[in-house]
Amino acid sequence: MKKVLIFFALFSVTFMGLAQNNDRFTSLFNGRDLVGWNMPGKVPGFEVVDGILVASPRNGSELFTEEQYGNFVFKFEYLLSEVGNSGVLIRCNPENPWGTGVEVQLLAPWTPYRDDLHCTGSIYGYVAVNNRPDETTGIWHEMEIKCDRKRITISVDGAVTTTADIDTVKSMQGKNLTGFIGFQSNHSKEGEYAHFRNISILDLDNDPEYVKKGFYSEDPEIRKQAMEVSVFKGSSMVKVLIQMMDEDNTMAQAGAKQALFDIVAGISAPNAIGKERVVVAKMLKEQSMDSTSEITAEYLKWLLEMLNRTITG
């Protein structure tokens, strides 16, 4: 009986863990307007109709998240018109989305029929699907895109279609490992469309311990990604980074030192949000007093002084 109870307890914990995981998804689309999104082009490519995000004008502006993401699970539902053509841009810079990032394809199969390297679920032109998904138009499908450092996994309707280890894809070398997520506007004929709903994201980098692991990677690109992500995350990374500075690991020390500087540099910009400065300043002050290392303490005091100039004006 006791064993059964323990089993049940373990099962409950696991189950709750999963449930929590699910809860950690954040909705990116409110069903009413495009709050949280940017449409940088002159001609709008998207509108919201009856709770649905609609890509309909031909070759209008792409739509990008306001935030940048490095590691994440992005999921949404989509519905394509008869010869609909759209896609999801990941880890891109909106000024040059296809040059800096890649596109996960969304395509009706009779546009004409395209191969596995260019069909729905493929990383368009870079990685083919190895399990072609249901491409029926006019019905809703669910897509999930997981970017876990250099590993990309794409699923459609609950089945994995595509997996990619960026290091093994020569043509993807030099692509960003952080950036914005975007939807491509209607890339088909006038009158065709793509619909989207239930758009949400699980940002893996919200967990400082996940980001921290990147700093210990033997791969300099992953370390660079960890540094960039730290700057997006700002204050939530400060404590972990300071702990890393005190470790007897010169790679972690150097990465943490640079990331702390970059965080302070970013929030010291004249147009940065003042509240974040106060939060980081408070942490630097507390940690500089607590640090066991005089070298770390002096460095934090120096950063604090730089930051304080921007707070006191």
Partner 1 sequence: MSLKSKIDRRNFLKTTGVGVIGFPFVVNGFTKMAASDKIRVAHIGTGNMGGSHIRWFSAFPDVETVALCDVDEVRLANARKVLVSSNSSANPELYSDFRRIIDRKDIDVVTCATPDHWHALVAISAFESGKDVYGEKPLSFSAQEGKVMLQSLKKYNRIFQLGTQIHASENYHRVAEIIQSGALGKIHTVRLWKKGGSPGLGFPPNETPPETLNWNMWLGPAPYTEYTPVRCHGSYRHFFDYSGGVFADFWCHIADIMYMSVHPQGLASIDARGDIPGDGIANTPKWIDVDFKFKDLDVYWTTTPPKVPGAEEMGIGAHFEGEKGTLTCDYNNRVISIGGETTNDISEISQTIPRSPGHQRNFLDAVKSRIQPESNLEYVREMTLPMHLALISFRLKRKLQWDCVKEEFVNDPAANFLLSREYRSPWSLPVY
Q: Does the protein bind partner 1 through residue 158 (CB under 8 A)?
A: no
Could you say which residues in the range 190-249 bind partner 1, by CB under 8 A?
220, 223-224
Distance, in Å, from the CA atom of 25 to the CA atom of 20, rounded to the nearest integer, reads 9
Closer of 158 and 313 to partner 1 (Cβ): 313
Closer of 132 and 224 to partner 1 (Cβ): 224
Q: Least distance from C-beta 246 to partner 1, angstroms?
A: 12
Closer of 25 and 261 to partner 1 (Cβ): 261
- For residue 298, the surrounding DSSP H or E stretch is helix 294-312
Phi, psi of 15 (to 5 degrees): -65, -45
Q: Least distance from C-beta 145 to partner 1, angstroms?
A: 27
Could you say which residues in the range 169-188 bind partner 1, by CB under 8 A?
none
Pick the stretch among 99-107, 166-174, 262-270, 284-292 that binds partner 1 (CB under 8 A): 262-270
DSSP string, 246-296: TSS-HHHHHHHHHHHHHHHHHHTSTTS-HHHHHHHHHHHHHHHHH-S-HHH
DSSP type of residue 205: G
Q: Does the protein bind partner 1 through residue 306 (CB under 8 A)?
A: yes
Closer of 66 and 298 to partner 1 (Cβ): 298
Closer of 183 and 299 to partner 1 (Cβ): 299
Q: Least distance from C-beta 224 to partner 1, angstroms?
A: 5
3-state secondary structure of 103: strand
Q: Least distance from C-beta 254 to partner 1, angstroms?
A: 5
Question: Which amino acid makes up residue 147?
Answer: C
Task: Give CA separation, 134 vs 82, 169, 176, 232, in Å.
Answer: 14, 25, 30, 36
Three-class SS string for 147-179? EECCEEEEEECCEEEEEEEHHHCHHHCCCCCCE
Is the distance from CB of 154 to CB of 104 less than 8 angstroms? yes
3-state secondary structure of 218: coil
Q: Does the protein bind partner 1 through residue 282 (CB under 8 A)?
A: no
Pick the stretch among 26-34, 94-102, 116-124, 265-273 that binds partner 1 (CB under 8 A): 265-273
Closer of 207 and 221 to partner 1 (Cβ): 221
Among 20, 168, 173, 250, binds partner 1 (CB under 8 A): 250
Q: Does the protein bind partner 1 through residue 302 (CB under 8 A)?
A: yes
Closer of 163 and 310 to partner 1 (Cβ): 310
Q: Does the protein bind partner 1 through residue 33 (CB under 8 A)?
A: no
Residue 181: name the closest of 149, 129, 145 by CA: 145
Q: Does the protein bind partner 1 through residue 309 (CB under 8 A)?
A: yes
Q: Does the protein bind partner 1 through residue 279 (CB under 8 A)?
A: no
Which residues lie below 8 Å from residue 65, measured CB to CB, with a gap of 6+?
28, 36, 37, 38, 180, 181, 182
Closer of 197 and 224 to partner 1 (Cβ): 224
Counted residue by residue, the chain has a size of 313
Query: Across-strand partners of 53?
Result: 48, 196
Which positions touch partner 1 (CB under 8 A)? 220, 223-224, 250-251, 253-254, 257-258, 261-262, 264-266, 268-270, 294-295, 298-299, 302, 305-307, 309-310, 313
